[in-house]
Amino acid sequence: MLEDIKGIGLKTLHELNKLNINSLEDLLSYYPYRYNYYKPQKINETKNNETIVINGILDSNPRVFYFKKNLNKMTFNINTNSIIVKTEIFNRSFLKNNLKIGKEVSLIGKYNKKQNLFTASDIKLSPILRATMEPVYHLTKGIKKTNFNKLILEGLKTKDHIQNYIPNYLMNNYQFIDKLIAVKNIHNPKDYNLFKSSKLLLTYEELFVFMLKINFLKLKNNEMIPSNIKSFEEKILRDKIDNLPFVLTKDQLEATNEIIKDLKSGKRMNRLLLGDVGTGKTIVAFLGLYINKLSNHQGILMAPTEILAIQHYENCLKFFSEKEMKIALLTSSTKTK
């Protein structure tokens, strides 16, 4: 249980629940959405105002200046590669007590060579000694990233909650790494090649589970007793197709026939029509609506914008009369026609 992890109290548990993290498995599968890449550099070898990472030792105790509400600036000098650099960082006054003369830190920010001023966007209390990847998560205000990282590390100590959903024969066939190793490296990457292998496994698993669910739904759909079978006079549809001002392509006819087959089966139709711009997907959708109308049923064609909805309505009238289809246009700013 989440409550058994060190560092999770009632308040933290409430914040985790806001992120739909309700179990240890949810926590460990809450993967970073991106990473920050840090590579320490020598300040005298960088370009002016380039975002860089430098290591250094505090040469002066920090001073804090308060301005408007919720705005403060902390300044200090840092010795980096025997160069004394003036440093400023905003809204980090809470770190003042952790920064004393002689403290070794890493700074992320931009260096203005003319002013000899380093404007830091972040400060690490432990120096970054090599190229590092830092995971970044979507979090609530009630959870700090450092605390969340600690929760992940605590959770990873319990490997029994790492369940691999990929069958062994696929794991062996594609030579995937172990799921536990992948989860550890996706949250705390140390080696870039191992990180890539981890990401490959977890991406494949996500797609595998998705397709498994889709196929399960298809199987359940096929087991359903046929109902609501669409019955219509197919000759009317064929005459309409023959009287279109253009000839349907082989793919358009094939897609239309598959829709007819689905609607006559009495089973729920879930169909995604794919095609490049200008390949004629819209007329196939119109024909699907026409079939529905011939079967004495209603249908709706939705568009993401009002302009596109009007455009579809006007295009539909080129092939079907309002009486023939009983077409109605409904937008956010027009009355039903």
Name which of 95, 35, 72 is nearest 107 in CA terms: 95
DSSP string, 57-117: EE-S--EEEE-STT-EEEEEEEEETTEEEEEEEES-GGGGGG--TT-EEEEEEEEETTTTE
* pLDDT bucket at 82, cuts 50 / 70 / 90: very high
Residue 304 has pLDDT above 70, yes or no: yes
Distance between CA 47 and CA 155 in Å, rounded? 42
Q: Give pLDDT, residue 334.
A: 57
Residue 332 has pLDDT above 90, yes or no: no
* pLDDT bucket at 265, cuts 50 / 70 / 90: confident
For residue 126, give Cα distances in angstroms to 98, 209, 299, 316, 321.
11, 39, 62, 65, 73
Q: Give pLDDT, residue 263.
A: 86
Q: Give pLDDT, residue 89.
A: 96
Average pLDDT, stretch 222-236?
Answer: 77
Q: Give pLDDT, residue 264.
A: 85
Contacts of 157 by beta carbon, 8 Å cutoff, 6+ apart: none
Average pLDDT, stretch 209-220?
Answer: 87
Q: Give pLDDT, residue 329.
A: 81
Average pLDDT, stretch 301-315?
Answer: 90
Contacts of 45 by beta carbon, 8 Å cutoff, 6+ apart: none
**CB distance 120 to 108 below 8 Å:** yes
Distance between CA 165 and CA 75 in Å, rounded? 51
Average pLDDT, stretch 159-187?
Answer: 91
Lowest mean pLDDT among 159-168, 177-186, 247-256: 159-168
Residue 104, CA atoms < 13 Å, CB-side half-sphere? 6
Name which of 109, 38, 49, 37 is nearest 78 in CA terms: 109
**CB distance 84 to 59 below 8 Å:** yes
Q: Give pLDDT, residue 55.
A: 96
Contacts of 156 by beta carbon, 8 Å cutoff, 6+ apart: 28, 183, 184, 187
Output the average pLDDT for the chain. Answer: 89
Q: Locate tokens 């087959």: which residue?
A: 261
280 Ramachandran zone, left/alpha/beta (phi>0; psi -120 to 50): left
* pLDDT bucket at 247, cuts 50 / 70 / 90: very high
Map 171-236 to HEC letters. HHHCCCCCHHHHHHHHHCCCCHHHHHHHHHHHHHHHHHHHHHHHHHHHHHHHHCCCCCCCCCCHHH
DSSP letter at 269 equals P
Average pLDDT, stretch 5-33?
Answer: 92
Torsion of CA 300, 305, 311, 316, to 10 degrees: -10
* pLDDT bucket at 171, cuts 50 / 70 / 90: very high
Q: Give pLDDT, residue 336.
A: 46
Q: Give pLDDT, residue 278.
A: 86
Q: Give pLDDT, residue 333.
A: 63
Q: Give pLDDT, residue 337.
A: 45
**CB distance 55 to 129 below 8 Å:** yes
Name which of 38, 24, 27 is nearest 186 in CA terms: 27
Residue 252 has pLDDT above 90, yes or no: yes
Structure tokens at 25: 């498995």
